[in-house]
Amino acid sequence: MNPKHHEPLYFHDGNIVLTAVDAVGEQVAFRVHQSILAVHSPIFADMLSLPTSTGAATETYDSVPLVRMPDNAEDLKRLLEVLYCRPMLRLKRYDPNTPIIVKPLLMLATKYEIEHLRSTIIQQLEEDWPQILGAWDILELEIEAKTAHSRQQYLIGLFDPPDLCFPEPAAAIQLARQYNIHSILPAAFYHLSCLGVDSDWSQTHVNCAESGFERLNLAIGARTARWELLEREDFLCLLRGRERVKDAVARLQFFTIKHQKRMILVPRPKTYQAALDLTRKHFKTLAGKEVYFETTQADIAVGQTVELTDDVWEGIIDSLATVEAFERKIDVEVKAEPNVVARPATHNAFAAPPSPPIQPERRKIKLDLVSDLPGAQNLKVKYSVPDLCEKELRMTLEGRRPHGRNIGEDIDGYDKPYEVYFRQEQLGGKPVIYIWTPQPQEVSVDLSLTPHWSFSAAYPVAPITPTKQAGGTGQSILWNVLTREDGNLQDKATGLEVNSLFWEA
């Protein structure tokens, strides 16, 4: 049975034919050049230089020597494409599928001692899994910025979860074990230790098409792993590593508390109140505010963000290295009883003089606090405080903002109880910048804030220039991107492909 020719890799001036079997059992023939194989691989060079035994007939095909390869035809095709640069090997930065994509190439590069190809693949893996703390911190910042961007995108109907944009640890560990790439194991195992076994890549990404919960979970930053790829030794290593980290953390006298972009080192707070006091002392924006703490280091929910309450603080604090502090945004819902304000009667201006308008009737209203947030029972609402709504709280009634401060004068009758909401005004926003040009080109975006504003997030990550003295502008950020015809952008500094630029202040 004659093999089928792989036309792009069947050179008519080639002087050797390699055949291999594809996934459906068919023979595929590649006609290539012995010199190309020999220059890249000492194994090929030795194999092609071996003399045939005396009297043995050399197998030929299409008038040139034939070598039957034991490798899969698809894998061999990919290797030959790389050796002939058709196309060149290009790996996407931080791609969670990189270990799966490069595995066949790495297998053949190792087998045939093609060192330059093996080195290229390992270099990309090491860039994805940083070797030094500074590089790891940069990766963490990029993940944080991407997560904020993903949440904003989800609000406008777009789905671009961080889990599809950053390395996945289990496949990386499997590849590193099989091909002795020990340099990436510490970072990959550390990331894996931050995930729970229920954070499964396959189930989550398959189910997200049908499950709104899974889709939302990914959009707000959930990370997963291909747990099924791990061996028994990998699980043992993971468990031992977690225990050692836990013991090391318990011996630390110091502790970190993070709020927004700032992190402080403090003595380990043994009580919840001590943590609150330290937080309000060192983060002036939280002084006097309702504060709560979150962590991703709880053993009972590894890798998941959980809120810490005062009830569990003393039992868990020795196993934690850091917590993140947030201001509690409390929504106060108040309910107005019926007939708060009488409506003026309508009249015919041509038939008779109008009756005097009915004056708004001032009545007391009943305020019922509705909230299940900790500490909300201590919150008081005094609507008589001057300018309260304008400066601190935003009042809405039936989805609209009342005129002035007369509750109900723009509502058509009160035949049922209405709900009046007092909520804190939102300061700041999350702008998204889209760029499209008819032809691909380089574009620079220089964004400056007014002096009293500062950046809290930017994606792709870019250097933030401090406040400028001249021109009355504040912090600024500069992106340099390449536009695409499909509307996507490639950040020149990081190589990331995004559909927009995102910033938060």
| Domain of residue 263, CATH code | 3.10.20.90
463 lies in the same domain as 495: yes
Report residue 332's pLDDT band, with 50, 70 and 90 as the boundaries: very low
Can you point out the beta strands (E) in 244-373? 254-259, 262-267, 291-295, 306-308, 322-327, 332-336
64 and 175, same domain (yes or no): no
Boundary-marking domain end, from 426, 454, 476: 426
pLDDT value of position 400 = 58
pLDDT per residue over 437-479, tens digit each?
Answer: 888 899 999 998 887 788 878 888 888 888 665 556 788 899 9
Asked whether residue 27 is domain-assigned, the answer is yes
pLDDT for the residue 307: 92
pLDDT of 249 above 90? no
Please give the Cα distance from 101 to 84 (Å, whole number): 18
Q: Give the domain-ending residue among 426, 451, 468.
A: 426
Q: Both 179 and 162 in a single domain?
A: yes
Do both 226 and 275 map to the same domain? no
φ and ψ of 243, to 5 deg? -65, -40
Angle between helical axes of 169-178 and 185-193 (0-180°, round to 10): 150
> Residue length, the chain?
505
Domain stop point among 250, 281, 311: 250
166 and 215 together in one domain: yes
For the chain, the domain total comes to: 5
Please give the mean pLDDT across all residues of the chain.
81
Q: Does a structural domain hold residue 393?
A: yes
Confidence check: pLDDT of 25 > 60: yes
Domain co-membership, 257 together with 242: no
pLDDT at site 118: 96
Which pLDDT score is estimated for 424? 52
Q: How confident is the model at residue 245 (pLDDT cuts 50, 70, 90)?
A: confident
| Together in a domain, 487 and 397 | no
Quick one: pLDDT at residue 342? 38
Indicate if 214 and 182 belong to the same structural domain. Answer: yes
- Alpha carbons within 13 angstroms on the beta-carbon side of residue 224 total 25
Same domain, 348 and 420: yes
Does residue 109 sit within a domain?
Answer: no
Range of the domain at 315: 252-327
pLDDT of residue 137: 87
The pLDDT assigned to 469 comes to 54
Inside any domain, residue 120: no
The DSSP result for 43-108, as a single string, is HHHHHHHSPPPTTPPPPEETTEEEEEEEEEHHHHHHHHHHHTTTT-----TT-TTHHHHHHHHHHH
Poorest-pLDDT segment among 18-27, 84-93, 230-239, 331-340: 331-340
Regarding predicted confidence, which is higher, 369 or 154?
154
| Residue 383, pLDDT score | 42
Same structural domain for residues 321 and 336? no
Q: Is residue 499 part of a domain?
A: yes
Residues 169 and 229 in one domain: yes
**Domain contains 304:** yes
378 plus 399 within the same structural domain: yes
SS3 readout for 199-248: CEHHHHHHHCCCCHHHHHHHHCCCCCECHHHCCHHHHHHHHHHHHHHHHH
CATH no. for residue 58?
A: 3.30.710
Check residue 384 and give its pLDDT: 40
Task: For residues 129-150, give the mean pLDDT.
Answer: 89
Strands 497-498 and 4-10: unpaired
Give 144's pLDDT tier (boundaries 50, 70, 90).
confident
Q: Worst-scoring range by mean pLDDT, 58-72, 132-146, 331-345, 392-406?
A: 331-345
Q: Which of 24-28, 151-155, 455-459 tops mean pLDDT?
A: 24-28
The whole-number pLDDT of residue 155 equals 78
Q: What whole-number distance in Å separates Cα of residue 104 and Cα of residue 121?
A: 11
In the predicted structure, residue 241 carries a pLDDT above the cut 70: yes
In the structure, what pLDDT confidence band is assigned to residue 371 with cuts at 50, 70 and 90?
Answer: very low
Residue 90 is encoded by which pair of tokens?
A: 């290009």
Quick check: is 339 in a domain? Answer: yes
Evaluate whether residue 287 is within a structural domain: yes
Please compute the mean of the pLDDT values over residues 34-62 and round it to a whole number. 83
